[in-house]
Amino acid sequence: MSEYDETVYRTSPGRAAKLMIILVGLVVVGGVIFFALGDYWISELSPAGKAFAGITDEEAAPAVAQTGADIPVTLDFIESKDFRTLAFNALPGEPGNNPTINAKVGDRIIFNILNAGKSFHAFGVTLNEEGFGGILGGTSVAAANNPLKPGEGGTSQFIPGEPGTYYYICTVPGHRELGMVGTIIVE
């Protein structure tokens, strides 16, 4: 009998099962750490990365004194059941969907925001026709990297200093494209 005739046991089914349990445990723990500590639902630089690059989320809005009326606006974040359509107050085709706000230069628009949906959302006013950046200072409620959870809300205000078209949006990337955008027309 030579050394090659001897039966060599590489592992047992019990040891293979233990190894699989350990590997699955490592994947689960790694996933928990990744999803708990990372901004996995957005595709933008972290706050530290933005600070390092000198990028700010909000554009400086010129100081404007209120010379007109107060316009209270209540906006609720909502989603369709399949999360493919997002909107303010009502889904497309329903009354009250993404209401257009009409104001005059110097009016104060007071936004009362509520996340009535099941996803994370944030609010802001922008001059940009698309995207989620360029939020005017003082108009945001929460932020994409620290959004409103379901049931949370907040208040912000906007006093337009120039006539034109402004947009109120969900500042979480991708939500504006799915329908969370409304128009503010300033005369």
**How many percent of the chain have pLDDT more than 70?**
81
For the domain spanning 58-186, the CATH number is 2.60.40.420
- Which of 83, 137, 139, 81 is CA-nearest to residue 113? 139
Q: Is the pTM of this model over 0.85?
A: no
pLDDT, tens digit (0-9, with 9 covering 90-100), for 129-172: 888 778 898 899 998 888 999 999 999 999 999 999 999 999 99
The residues, any chain, with a CB within 8 Å of residue 74's CB and separated by 6 or more, are 89, 112, 114
